[in-house]
Amino acid sequence: MQKEGKNVPGIIIAGLRGGSGKTVISLGITAAWKEKGFKVSPFKKGPDYIDAGWLSKAAGRPCYNLDTFLCSPATVKQSYIEHSSNCDICLVEGNRGLYDGIDTDGSTSTAELAKLLDLPVLIVLDCTKSTRTMAALLLGCMTFDPEIRILGVILNRVAGKRHEQKVRVNIEKYCQIPVFGAVPKLDAEDFPERHMGLIPSEEHAFSEKAVQAAGRVAKTHIDLDGLYDILIHRESSGTNRIEIQEAGKTQDTGPGKVTIGIVRDSAFQFYYPDNIEALKKLGAAVVFISPLRETWIPDVDAIYMGGGFPETHAPELSGNIGFRNDLKRLSQQGLPIYAECGGLIFLGESITLGDQVFPMSGIFPIRFGLCKQPQGHGYTQVQVVHENPFFSVGEILRGHEFRYSSVLSIEYKDQEMAFQMERGKGIINRKDGYFKQNTLGTYTHIHALGTPAWAASLIEKAMAHKNSKS
């Protein structure tokens, strides 16, 4: 166990593009290190719920997102420091290609995060149908930004020993950095994909077996001891300069003063740990509820509905008439409800899948459909333009949207849309944040560390509602 004020070794695992296989390798390394008895603190770069869920399962502890678009660099660095305490090693999975950001300067890229946290980078190279070119690409990454410390590489999707040897020899000759392993092409059955990433671990019937399989791949094909030893050496030599200290704990303002119901199950599972923790740190008690398992809503002072894939559970959600009616009744009585993406869909009238229409809660007069291509994907920035239950007019919120759902029909007045989109698509006509009374639904996912007013506002509304019943 690391002592206060000591350096904790860490590494960022990056690729040259999205889909290079870094998630499975990150899972495998995390699971294998955990099996060895190391306390691994996992992180995911970017606004990703699915990969973070898998990393959390592999590590046996929460995986926190690090995103310099959603949060300030100082906040991201503090989050890394706070959540790296009481661990043996940190593993950060990057996203997209190493240098891919939102502009030509590489802002928000994995490389910029590596510099912010002063962490070395391990590159996962997809070697499909390539040999010597891999060395050229790697050398380009090494020289593109001299501040990036590329520690070594793992070859992925190699076609056999001959293929592996050709790539190894070229990398050792031209790049002069170690190859820590070579992973063959894997059977896709262990990690089926949905949309643009791995399916959520909660929906994978064999998720534990999948993590174990990834761990076996890492133990068989990656020099885990060599990788760990070189990180320990860098830490002990002072190369990694971030010191992990026990962060000051936020004082609760009155534990359990309000109760927030969080709708979480395999249909609604997209939550940043920081968002739930923000509510707890401000004194809220949290209970988890599920429209897949329960036919009524317990006594709560507010509800937080995250995103997910309600379309894959549409028959069950639609068939739970008791829960749907209870939610609508509570909304009409003024219960504060905050919903994102999949939660927004559940607040609508229905979702149409093929030739079937599945009724939802009917709180908002919106009918949803599902498309084969993303209808909103990427970072968002919104300006709060109308009075609403949770945000102040004039506030600028940063978030992200990722959805395949579309709006088939909607009835609304302009003043019922709290947000004007400065970046992103929103619900309709670059508007988002549809609200009625104390219920607000949005396609924009926010991060509590980047939007600290959100948790305080939800609790304030919950307290007001609780007092109104007294």
Distance CA 32, CA 219 (A): 6
Q: What tokens appear for 200 in the block?
A: 């959520």
| Per-residue CA distances from 303 to 184, 316, 318, 435, 455 (Å) | 46, 20, 19, 14, 12
Q: What tokens appear for 182 in the block?
A: 């070579």
Closest CA to 289 of 322, 242, 245, 254: 322
CA 414, 415, 417 angle in degrees (round to 5)? Answer: 75
Instruction: Please pick, among 87, 90, 175, 341, the residue that the annotation labels catalytic.
Output: 341
**341 has catalytic annotation:** yes
C-alpha count within 13 angstroms, C-beta hemisphere, residue 283: 15
List the end-to-end C-alpha distance of the chain, in Å, as a whole number: 49
| Per-residue CA distances from 370 to 268, 309, 395 (Å) | 17, 11, 31
For residue 68, the SS3 value is: coil
Contact (CB, 8 A) for 9 and 91: no
For residue 378, the SS3 value is: strand
What residues are labeled active site?
A: 341
